[in-house]
Amino acid sequence: MSFGAARFSASPRAASRSAASPLAVSSFAAAALRNALIVLLALCIFGPLTNLLLWTVTEAWYFPAKLPVSWGFSYWTRVFRPEAGAMLALGNSVLIALSTVALSTLVAIPAGYALAQRGLPLRSLFLLLFLLPQAFPAIAVHLNIARIFYGFGLNGTITGVVLVHALQGLVFSVWITSAAFAAVGSEPIEAARNLGASPLRAFCDVSLPLASPGIIASAIFVFLISIDEFSGTFFVGAPEISTLPLQLYSAATEGNYQIASITALLLLLPSILFMFVVERFLRADVLAKIGT
């Protein structure tokens, strides 16, 4: 892709701009090139997004036409009809995501608290262990989980899907929660202990509230991972459990651009929403401690 080569060559030009004796012309050319590359990047990022949004309000759009031939919302009513299954899939997706968040948070708070103590033996080994599911191809694991779950009757159940999603989200929940507890430090807890609080009380009244922004950030990550998860749901949940990603996939393979695009937009909204929210919870001091 020439795009990559072009973007990379920005740096030498930009560097020559600030060399000891800059010529006005070369400086102008460098600035123009830099702006052109940023515009190109913006087109590459927002072009696909725009195309998707256009298809959600398209009635008809054939090949030579550069923009939709006729516009309208008729496909929206088709998506939201109960028999279309999109609303059921949306409900399933939200239910599964919230259950996954609850399960991972419940598991990650004690684990994160233990891993936040620097003196824990084999600490980095444990951190690495939680990263491992991301370091192996998920499909190989998912299809064997499906096979094991089959024996327990967990295939095609919400519980089965939640368990698979919790595994996918575990590294984020454990690492971010651990970073959040590490960022609290030991002073506030020692102060509470010196004032006579029991270890449990110090944890509940001091550590947990101070770490909660980081824990909320980790919950947001887990929620997004669960909402987006495809292959685990495909192997463990389908065909009984349909989520929005599976619904989107089947709409796409049926070749209906409008219905697929509207479903994609439904899936996109929580992600965009959380993108603006997560920065408020994930503070720099927590961010710096992730994975360390």
Partner 1 sequence: MTTITLPASPRRPDWLPALLLLPALLVVATLFVYPLACSLLYAFRDEKLGVWGWGNFLRAWDLYARDIYFTFGVVLLSTALIGVLAIAIAGYLTLGENRRAVAVLRWLYRWPLFIPVVVAGQMMRTFLAKNGLMNNALMALDLIEPLQAISFLDWRGLVFTFVWKQLPFATLLLAGAMAALDRSMIEAARNLGAGRLRVLWQILMPQLRPTLLVSLILSFVAILSVLSVPMMINAGSPTMITVDMAWRVASYSDYGVANALGFISCAMCGLAAWFYLRQGLREGGRP
Binders of partner 1 among 39-68, rule CB under 8 A?
A: 41-52, 54-55, 61-67
Q: From residue 44, how far is each of 50, 65, 135 by CA, in Å?
A: 10, 21, 29
- Looking only at residues 75 through 94 of this chain, which bind partner 1 when binding is defined by CB under 8 A? none
Place of tokens 């190109």: 40
Amino acid at residue number 25: V
Q: From residue 95, how far is each of 158, 248, 262 by CA, in Å?
A: 9, 18, 20
Tell me how far, at minimum, the Cβ of 225 lies from partner 1, in Å.
9
Q: Which two tokens stand for residue 57?
A: 């309000």
Place of tokens 């089965």: 160
Tell me how far, at minimum, the Cβ of 77 lies from partner 1, in Å.
20
Q: Closer to partner 1 at the Cβ: 8 or 71?
A: 8
**Using rule CB under 8 A, residue 69 touches partner 1:** no
Among 77-85, 94-102, 109-117, 206-214, which window interacts with partner 1 (CB under 8 A)? 109-117
Burial 64-86 (b: 16+ CB within 10 A, else e): eeeebeeeeeebeeebeeeebbb
**Using rule CB under 8 A, residue 201 touches partner 1:** no
Residue whose C-alpha is closest to residue 62's, from 252, 249, 257: 257
Amino acid at residue number 76: W
**Using rule CB under 8 A, residue 102 touches partner 1:** no
**Using rule CB under 8 A, residue 222 touches partner 1:** no
- Looking only at residues 166 through 185 of this chain, which bind partner 1 when binding is defined by CB under 8 A? 166-167, 170, 174
Task: Tell me the per-residue interface mask from 18 to 37 with partner 1, x by CB under 8 A, - otherwise.
Answer: xxx----------x--xx--
Tell me how far, at minimum, the Cβ of 222 lies from partner 1, in Å.
13
- 180 and 214 Cβ atoms separated by less than 8 Å: yes
Among 74-82, 83-91, 146-154, 208-216, which window interacts with partner 1 (CB under 8 A)? 146-154
**Using rule CB under 8 A, residue 292 touches partner 1:** no
Residue whose C-alpha is closest to residue 33's, from 65, 67, 72, 7: 7
- Looking only at residues 230 through 269 of this chain, which bind partner 1 when binding is defined by CB under 8 A? 230-231, 234-235, 245, 248-249, 252-253, 257, 260-261, 264, 267-268
